[in-house]
A = this chain, B = another copy of it.
Amino acid sequence: MATIGEACGLIKGSIYHHFKSKEELALECLKYIHEYFNREIFSIAYTKQLSPKDKLILFTKKVEEYFMNSEGGCLLGNFALEISNNIPLFKNEIIEYFKNWEEAIYQILKPEIGEKQAKEKAMQIVSATQGSIMLMRIYGKPDPFKIQNKAIIDFLP
């Protein structure tokens, strides 16, 4: 809380005039990011103007931009591995986030490769993206993430 306060130009106690607990603040962060992804990235899958290939390219580009400019990797992924099991509200938010991600890719791929294939591939792409973000952080260089994104785009002819 002290660190968060500092980033806001406040001391830790002052935060409690805006959020009633640290947990509530954290949940609002998860929601905020989830909504951002829904609005700016996942929505690409549901626009009618683009071809599946172009959707996939744009989608992947937006994801790459986002995580190349974020310091700590994927916040929802991090939360998933840490504390979500102990806090049902967190867990629910995280599950919905990843379901939305998968569903978006599924919608992009379905017209090209069919429902069953698209379902599996969507899951794999989300997995691979998350894993490559992890590796990017571990190694301290963007190669794993960028190579992975390239492979995603190349998946559609």
Contact = CB atoms under 8 A, between A and B. Distances in A.
A1 interface: no
B137 A80 contact: yes
**Count of chain copies:** 2
A126 interface: yes
A120 B151 CA distance: 10
Interface residues of A, number: 31
Contacts of A130: 130-131, 134-135
Interface centre among A80, A126, A131, A147 (most CB of B within 10 A): A131
Given A81-B73, A82-B82, A95-B139, A147 B124 contact: yes
B147 A135 contact: no
Nearest to A145: B127
Contacts of A151: 120, 124
Interface in A71-109: 73, 77-78, 80-82, 84, 91, 94-95, 98
Given A77-B81, A78-B81, A82-B78, A131 B137 contact: no
Interface string A114-142: 00000010011011111110110111000
A135 B127 contact: yes
Contacts of A81: 73, 77-78, 81-82, 134, 137
A79 B60 CA distance: 27
Interface of A: 73, 77-78, 80-82, 84, 91, 94-95, 98, 120, 123-124, 126-132, 134-135, 137-139, 143-144, 147-148, 151
